[in-house]
A and B are shown apart, each in its own frame.
With several copies, the nearest count.
Chain A
Amino acid sequence: MRREFCKIISNFRVANNVYKMVIESKSISKEALPGQFLHIKPSQNYDPLLRRPISICDLDQDKGGITLLYRVCGKGTRLFAEIKPGDNLDIIGPLGKGFPIFQNKKSAIIGGGIGIAPLLILSKWLKEADIYLGYKDETYMTDEFMNYSDDVCIYTESGSRGTKGYPIEALEKNINRYDIVYACGPKQMLRAIKRLCEKNLVECYLSMEERMGCGIGACLVCACESSNNDEYKKVCIDGPVFNSKEVNLDD
């Protein structure tokens, strides 16, 4: 973990409100693991004030390239979208606990919307996982996933591309094929996946989101409900990736 000013290599729109940014950091990219995130300062001034957590989407460890995929949804990400190649960003990373990698298990990766971001590098490292991606309507980064896996299934709510419907419907049918499921996406999707996997005794890892302060375990604001009722988990250092059994996703 370090703090570094990283150069922006590229930053462009890949879909409506979704951008792909490549930054350069030899040292961070060398340390980084799938599922970890960067904590990025959106402004030099004090509004917006806090850093934004963004997952590592892809890594080019030789060149030191780190790919990020982000959705513009507020002040901070709006500023990210304005950054030009050659500019610098103030970054802390890599942070958090990533996905555990088991090469000899049959894995499924399932992502919804912008939640696909940390799954790309995971699918690259896992090599042989089956991939289920869900979108509202417009799809993005599907080609990249296809580079890393032969089994990429695309679902859209609107049916405009891939199969109409939700990826979890397909996962449900195939759940018995898998030893392990990795997931990232909206909370209600994670909740359904957790339930599905636990019912079928399939190991399951979820990447969670919570608002953060420090990003490194010092401020205790990123608490998420854990299965141990006596304490909260800290998304920033106990996660963002949790074994489904560690966390409680009920509202």
Chain B
Amino acid sequence: MIDMTVNIGGRRLKNPVLVSSGTFGFGKEYSNFYDFNLLGAITVKGITLKPRKGNKPPRIMETSAGILNSVGLENPGLYSFIENELPFLKKYSVPIIANISGNTIEEYSLMAKELNEHVDFIELNVSCPNVKEGGITFGTKPESVYEVTREVRKVTNIPLIVKLSPNVTDIGEMALAAENAGADCISLINTLMGMAIDIYNRKPFFNNVVAGLSGPAVKPIALRMVWQVAQKVNIPIIGMGGISNWQDAIEFMMAGADAISIGTANFYNPLAPKEVLEGIKEYMIENGINDLREIKINGGVK
């Protein structure tokens, strides 16, 4: 019997295929393409305490095998999320991961506290490169990762995921800080800081100048970081960054990810999560793999 379940902080996901924050809205839209109940979990659009209008358009630019986005955390705010968005998702039996961003540790803590009874997991976004205040600083210093994780840990008893920024010299160090502060899981990578210039108008393409790079272009970097984190921590890892098909997913799991998450691929292939899941299942059957942890290259030796 193949077992695809994944244990994260004591909570079981029925399989390791997740969808990434900010690429899947609050779920509604993709329900036209397949049954959500087949997903391991849904990570919803990043939310903040107060509603945010987000950045001025343009907000997206296609790059070679990637995209730059500058959404700037547009969201209806914590309370509207709980009231207006969650009820739809609750109709499904799929675990919900709330992705939160704060300007201060207090904001993170308050949000985590309020969400504690409403969602299944909390994911701390300490890495969004689009927002000038907050975000960026938390994710690039191990001390701040430690601190914000520790404080949020105090106010929530549901599993806590810390989502790391790839814009750092030593990702392993950040992961270790999160683990030491009580995180149940590390997710990575968020977008890489990139930029584009509108050469015809001689100005940065985005109002915010920098924007977040994602998609197949970043996969080799994401995979390397998952590998590095897997050498460092003993908690589960959710790998993401450019995953487009089941082969990519297997690469991430071999590198050390316990689960994987699909982001940008939803845009060009709305059925990507379903196809990846089916591909992994077939791979397991063909190769006689009962437990996906078996395929980790370092076999859990850390």
| A60 in contact (CB, < 8 A) | no
The answer on a CB contact under 8 Å between B71 and A46 is no
Checking A218, A221, A231, A237 against B59 with a beta-carbon cut-off of 8 angstroms, the contacting residue is A221
B57 touches A49 (CB 8 A): no
B151 to chain A, nearest CB (A): 29
A221 contacts B71, CB within 8 Å?
yes
Interface readout for A213-225 with B: 1 if CB under 8 Å, 0 if not?
1111111111111
**Across the interface, which residues of A come within 8 angstroms of B216, CB to CB?**
46-47, 49
Residues 178-224 of B at the A interface (beta carbon under 8 Å): 215-217
In the complex the two chains form, is B268's CB within 8 Å of A50's CB? yes
Please give the distance in Å from B74's CB to the nearest CB on chain A.
Answer: 5
Does A122 make an interface contact (CB < 8 A)? Answer: no
Q: Is the CB of B62 within 8 A of A220?
A: no
Question: Cβ of A220: which chain B residues have Cβ within 8 Å of it?
Answer: 22, 25, 45, 54, 59, 71, 74
Q: How far does the Cβ of B278 sit from chain A's closest Cβ, in whole Å?
A: 15
Interface size class of B (residues with CB under 8 A): 35 or more
Please indicate the chain B residues that have their CB under 8 angstroms from the CB of A212 in the complex: 60
Interface residue ranges of A21-79 to B (CB < 8 Å):
41, 45-51
Instruction: Provide the residues of chain A in CB contact with B22, threshold 8 Å.
Output: 219-220
Secondary structure call for the A interface: loop
Whether the pair B29, A49 counts as a contact (CB closer than 8 A) is no
Neighbouring B residues of A2 by C-beta, 8 Å: 32
Q: Is B67 in contact with chain A by the CB < 8 A criterion?
A: yes
B270 in contact (CB, < 8 A):
yes
Measured in the bound complex, the distance between the Cα atoms of B54 and A225 in whole Å is: 11
When distances are taken between beta carbons in the complex, the residues of chain A under 8 Å from B23 are 213-214, 218-219
Choose one: B60, B62, B269; the contact of A48 (CB below 8 Å): B62
A residues touching B (Cβ–Cβ < 8 Å)? 1-3, 41, 45-51, 92, 210-225, 230-232, 237
- CB<8 Å pairs between A and B, sample of 30: A2-B32, A3-B33, A3-B270, A41-B268, A45-B64, A46-B217, A48-B62, A49-B62, A49-B215, A50-B267, A50-B268, A210-B58, A211-B61, A214-B29, A214-B270, A216-B30, A216-B270, A217-B25, A217-B28, A218-B23, A218-B30, A220-B22, A220-B25, A221-B69, A221-B71, A222-B60, A223-B54, A224-B57, A232-B53, A232-B54
